[in-house]
Each structure stands twice: as C-alpha cells, then as structure tokens.
Amino acid sequence: MTHLLTIENLNAGYGDFQALFGLGIHVDRGEIVAIVGANGAGKSTLLRAIVGQVTMTGSIVFDGESLGSIPAHRRVGFGISLVPEGRKLFASLTVEENLLIGGHRTAAGRWNIEAVLDLFPLIRPLLKRQSDKLSGGEQQAIAIGRALMGNPRLLLLDEVSLGLAPVVVKGIYEALPGIVASGATVILVEQDIGVALGAADRVYCMLEGRVSLSGTPAELSREAIAAAYFGVA
C-alpha cells in the first residue's frame, strides 16, 4: 500500500533563505509521526511546506495527489489541517465561534462540537467565553478542536506542548488516540523528546534542515537521538 504522505527531495525556505535541504519523509494512514529537533532545525517549515505556506521545490504527494502546485487555500479541501505554534485563535470570538469557524468548510466525518467537547471536556463550560481570556492549555485544546471540526485526514500539530504545564500536556496527548480512531493521521512537532517518544509510532529527528535520524521509539536509543538532535558525532 502506498503511503498517505510521501515527501521527497524537499527544499523550502523564506525568500533567499533556505531552511530545508533535500528532505524526505513518509507517513502512513493512522500513524502518529513525531518530528523532533532543536530550535531552528526546520520542523515548523516542514509543516508549513505541507500546507503550502512556504516556497518549495521537490515533491509532496498526499493520497496519490501531488501538492506542489496546489495553493494553500485548496489544500484544506484535501483534508490537511495545521494547528500552528501559538494556537492563533480568533481572540475576540467565543470558544464556540472559534470551533464553528473550524467546521465552516467541513468534510463528512465524525467531528462536531459535541464530539470535540467529549474529547476535551475542559472546554465544555467555556463555550460562551471569549477565547483570549483562557489559559494556555484551554486555548490549545480549542485550537486542536477547531482543526478537528474540519474532519481532517492529516492533522499537523506544531509544538502543542510549548509553555504548558506537564499535567496539561498529558491531557492533550491523551486525546491523540481518539483523534487517530476518528480516521485522522497525525504529524506532530515536539521539542520534548520524551513526550514525542511516548506518543509517536515513528520519529524523525531533524538537524539543520535535514533528517538526521528516523525510526520507531523502540529502535532509537536516547544516545542516538541526542546525537542526531544536537549533531554530535
């Protein structure tokens, strides 16, 4: 069976600045794949390339379709949804309005407000509250819920644990199996190697815009990851 996502020889960046160099990864249906790496390794740029937010050359094939020439706004229609670093909720809108916006152009699937509230019960009492008045963990759950409302086939999570207390991070990560059970495949960018290894089926480590190591958590030793993460021989 072919992969859900196959990326080959990806070069991407910002104007004259190149951030990714000949990068290749693949992701299978139903997998949780973690991308780890130090600050500036290019993890967010990889996610932005998948949703079409950076200039790129190379090949990104999603479910048999080449995405390279497809503009960002049309990639949502393919069922690809990014939860960006920093959540980026609509601050002046209520929680419910933020969720409804996520379902604006929805594909058929199991996600609706009730299903999101079942996944993240902490949101339920907050529906009528203004989004920017909430804690980081609450906002993160809403941002993920908003993405789910579009019934994505591929959900991209960029540093969802950043700045959150460990107990809140645990709650967010405990939601992942339910998300995969809904039919989604997940790529998550995570700086905390322990969290990534605990959650993912496979891990790619990035260093200076390239894949420096990949494998299942069982295959990768802490030492090998640390070396690949920091570029230590």
Interface residue with ligand ATP, options 43, 87, 153, 202 (CB under 6 A): 43
The interface region with ligand ATP, picked from 40-48, 88-96, 108-116, 211-219 by CB under 6 A, is 40-48
Q: Which of residues 88-127 bind ligand ATP (CB under 6 A)?
A: none
Assess 39 for contact with ligand ATP (CB under 6 A): yes
The interface region with ligand ATP, picked from 35-43, 114-122, 135-143, 164-172 by CB under 6 A, is 35-43
Tell me the closest approach of the beta carbon of residue 208 to ligand ATP, in angstroms: 9
Assess 12 for contact with ligand ATP (CB under 6 A): no
Assess 17 for contact with ligand ATP (CB under 6 A): yes
DSSP state of 39: T
* Neighbouring residues of 170: CB distance < 8 A, sequence distance ≥ 6: none
Q: What are the φ and ψ backbone dihedral angles of 139, each rounded to 5 degrees?
A: -65, -40
Q: Sign (positive/negative) of CA torsion 144, 131, 91, 100? A: positive
Task: Report how far apart, in Å, the C-alpha atoms of 81 and of each of 60, 127, 154, 207, 208 are.
Answer: 15, 22, 6, 25, 25
Interface residue with ligand ATP, options 33, 42, 148, 157 (CB under 6 A): 42
Q: What is the token pair recorded at 9? A: 């020889």
> What separation, in Å, do the N-terminal and C-terminal C-alpha atoms of the chain show?
36
* Contacting positions for ligand ATP (CB under 6 A): 14, 17, 19, 37, 39-45
